[in-house]
Amino acid sequence: MRTSVTDRPDRSGGTADLPVGAFRLPQAAGSRRPLLAVGSFALVCVSIAAFAGLYASAGSRIPAIVVVRPVAEGQPFTAAVLGQADVSVSGGVGFLPVSEAAFLRGKRAAVALPAGSLLVAGDVTGAAPVAPGDAIVGLALKDGEYPSTGLSPGDRVMVVETPGPGGAAQAAQIAQAAGAVPGAGAVAAGSVLVPEAPVYAVGPPSAASSGTITVVVSVEVTTALAPTVAAAATSGQAALVLLAPSGVPPSSPSGAVGS
């Protein structure tokens, strides 16, 4: 009879005969430590970068456009009501920097703006509302019928009726009949159609216009005066005189003969 002896593990639950640590599982905590270290380092780097960005933005100041005088809704933006200030603005604020001042040419206030307010894109509109009882009249003008410096929307102008063909001789006859001294330098002035009117828009003439027309200016006048201004413009007997902005005192004449 053969007798075989087979080594069996001790079923009593002991492991005294086995090498120490033979049944130990890998420690999960030990494997997480490098990952936690990397994550903590990345978080510190992100925090430092965010703090540095906030510090830099707080220290940087940008010249921005501000309103220096109250502006009514629909009023054109002019140099008289705008200024600049160095501001530090957080992200997300759509303010207008001074470098974009050309964007305001021909634009108007979309809302009423108090003095000292920072101008933002939402305050600006390209639509020019026409006041009730007013009308827009276009004048196709030649050189000499408007200032050589040009006109811009928002300028204040006087609309003058100029003499037609033969009008100067007729005006001289009227002045002579009224008792004017010949040779005394009396000049018959043109008739003022509109003492003051805002310029609504300025543009180039169309291709179908006469070659002598150099600019087309639209002015805002009352509906009562619109037919008269339109008739003078159609007959080529209208001119525009640039007026000083409201509230600006007249300058002293300089360079006068004999001064």
Query: Domain limits of the chain?
Result: 62-125, 134-177+189-242
Q: Which residue has the tokens 């206030």?
A: 109
List pLDDT tens digits, range 215-247: 999 899 999 999 999 999 999 999 999 998 865
pTM above 0.75, yes or no: no
**38: buried, middle or exposed (CB in 10 Å: 19+, 13-18, 0-12)?**
exposed
Instruction: Identify the pLDDT of residue 192.
Output: 92
Instruction: Identify the pLDDT of residue 34.
Output: 62
Bridge partners, residue 62, by sequence:
87
Helix, strand, coil tally for the chain in percent (to 5)? 25, 25, 50
List pLDDT tens digits, range 202-215: 888 888 777 889 99
Q: How far is CA 218 from the centre of its chain?
A: 21
Number of H helices, E strands in the chain: 3, 9
C-alpha–C-alpha distance, residues 66 and 77, integer Å: 11
- Is the model more confident about 230 or about 71? 230
CATH class as words, domain 62-125: alpha beta
Please, what's the b/e burial string for 222-254 (b: 16 or more CB within 10 A of its CB; e: otherwise)? Answer: eeebbebbbebbeebbbbbebeeeeeeeeeeee
Q: How much is the mean pLDDT over the chain?
A: 73
Confidence of residue 176 (pLDDT cuts 50, 70, 90): low
Per-residue pLDDT, averaged over 44-50, amounts to: 56
Instruction: Identify the pLDDT of residue 256.
Output: 40
| DSSP character at residue 77 | P
C-alpha–C-alpha distance, residues 7 and 114, integer Å: 99
